Amino acid sequence: MTELARGRGRGATGRVVSFDAAVGLGEVESSTGERYLFHCIEIADGTRDVAVGVEVEFDLLHKFGRAEASNIRS
């Protein structure tokens, strides 16, 4: 199954605008101004932590009727 068939889109850029390490949830704002939620397991380097304000690249994962940031890379 291809990534697109699983609901993944590639190539978005933006910055982390919020992240709560205690619960593992955050939000990325894309370069076009759209905001996407993410869970810490989607941070690509495996650290499960990211600083607010960091510029990132990410993919979009469509699930449960909405797009979320995934495969987040700084």
Q: Does the structure show a pLDDT above 90 at 27?
A: yes
Structure tokens at 20: 């709560």
The DSSP string of 7-61 is TEEEEEEEEEEEEETTTTEEEEEETTS-EEEEEGGGBTTS-----TT-EEEEEEE
Structure tokens at 8: 């993944």
**pTM score:** 0.84
The residue ranges of every structural domain in the chain are 8-73
Q: What is the pLDDT of residues 32-54, one digit of tens each?
A: 999 999 999 999 999 999 999 99
In whole angstroms, give the CA distance from residue 52 to residue 1: 34
How many Cβ atoms sit within 10 Å of the Cβ of residue 42? 21
**Fold for the domain defined by 8-73:** OB fold (Dihydrolipoamide Acetyltransferase, E2P) (2.40.50)
